[in-house]
Amino acid sequence: MQTVRLPQGELEKALAGRPKHVFISGASRGIGEAIARLMGEERHNFTLASRSYNRSLGVCMDLGTQRAQALRLDLADERSIDDAVIAAESKFGPIDILICNAGINLPTPVQDYSEEGRKRFRRVIDVNLVGTYMLAQMAVQHMPKGGRVLFIGSVLARMGAPGTAAYSASKHALLGLVRSMAQELAPQGIRVNALNPGWVDTQMAQESLQRNADAQGVTLQQAMQAALNQLPIQRLIRPSEVASYVKFLVGPGGDAITGQGIDLSCGSVMV
């Protein structure tokens, strides 16, 4: 039997037309879930990875289990990261689009000198920076030309806030990671960016606002209003809005964008 070889241009077109493999960490709720549901409207295969396996599985069932799988992923566990990427690639092939959304925010006030306080600081850095980097490092190992890596950062990558030393530091560090990886991976046609949302209507934001309220001795509603009063656009961002911007950045429209930290913050940062 004679082997038929496609011209390189036609081969690239054929590869471009295949379903892409989208890997989303922290996909069980909030921003990650919104991204999965919006991008699920397109012809992609999905790996939804999080510590909340059952919630991720529920999203997969809505997308269709023939094209979506749920995996357990703990970014504080190096073995968990390696296993998740291997399992993802075993089912759907190399990862085309990696969305690093998983992260934690624990209180880390400077005045907390306790052993527990130091453990919280290390855990936030281990998950938000070290584990996130290792996930990206593993994913790009086999990522094809045209791949995308997108980190979901925070507006706190541009500023600080009381009691958030570890979280703010981790999000600042992500921007350095983005710039370094963008330059290193550009020759392979891989684009690397970060999206930095402000206050998004998620459980994590509610928990953070509740801590602010408790510290100030006010209600959650009062703490939220005080935070919104500082914004030119005085409202919470919807997870679906973040998802729409993600869809643009990882799609064809984002091909000329790399090494950037893009703010989506209702005007809290103006550069």
**Is 167 a known active-site residue?**
yes
Q: What's the alpha-carbon Rg for the chain, to the nearest Å?
A: 19
260 and 173 within one domain = yes
Asked whether residue 80 is domain-assigned, the answer is yes
pLDDT digits (tens, 9 = 90+) for 128-164: 999 999 999 999 999 999 999 999 999 999 998 889 9
25 and 89 within one domain = yes
121 and 186 within one domain = yes
Q: Which residue has the tokens 């100030």?
A: 216
> Using N-to-C axis directions, what is the helix angle for 30-39 and 53-63, rounded to 10°?
20
Q: What does the alpha-carbon distance between residue 259 and residue 241 come to, in Å, rounded to a whole number?
A: 22
156 and 226 within one domain = no
Asked whether residue 5 is domain-assigned, the answer is no
Q: What is the rounded average pLDDT of the residues 98-120?
A: 96
Asked whether residue 6 is domain-assigned, the answer is no
Asked whether residue 10 is domain-assigned, the answer is no
Residue 26: pLDDT over 70: yes
207 and 93 within one domain = no
Q: How confident is the prediction for the chain on average, in pLDDT?
A: 91
pLDDT digits (tens, 9 = 90+) for 60-91: 999 998 999 999 999 999 999 999 999 999 99
Selected residue with higher pLDDT from 11 and 234: 234
Q: What is the pLDDT of residue 207?
A: 84
Phi, psi of 8 (to 5 degrees): -55, -40
The CATH code of the domain that includes 56 is 3.40.50.720
**CB distance 145 to 188 below 8 Å:** yes
Domain of residue 88 covers 18-199+239-264
Task: Report residue 18's pLDDT band, with 50, 70 and 90 as the boundaries.
Answer: confident
128 and 53 within one domain = yes
106 and 209 within one domain = no
Q: What is the pLDDT of residue 49?
A: 97
Residue 5 CA neighbour count, 13 Å, CB half: 2
> Using N-to-C axis directions, what is the helix angle for 239-250 and 30-39, rounded to 10°?
50
Task: Report residue 169's pLDDT band, with 50, 70 and 90 as the boundaries.
Answer: very high
Helix (H, G, I), strand (E, B) or coil at 50: strand
Phi, psi of 200 (to 5 degrees): -110, 145
Q: What is the pLDDT of residue 212?
A: 80
The number of folded domains in the chain is: 2
207 and 177 within one domain = no
Residue 209: pLDDT over 70: yes
Asked whether residue 48 is domain-assigned, the answer is yes
Asked whether residue 2 is domain-assigned, the answer is no
Asked whether residue 230 is domain-assigned, the answer is yes
- Residue tagged active-site, from 53, 113, 133, 167: 167
153 and 229 within one domain = no
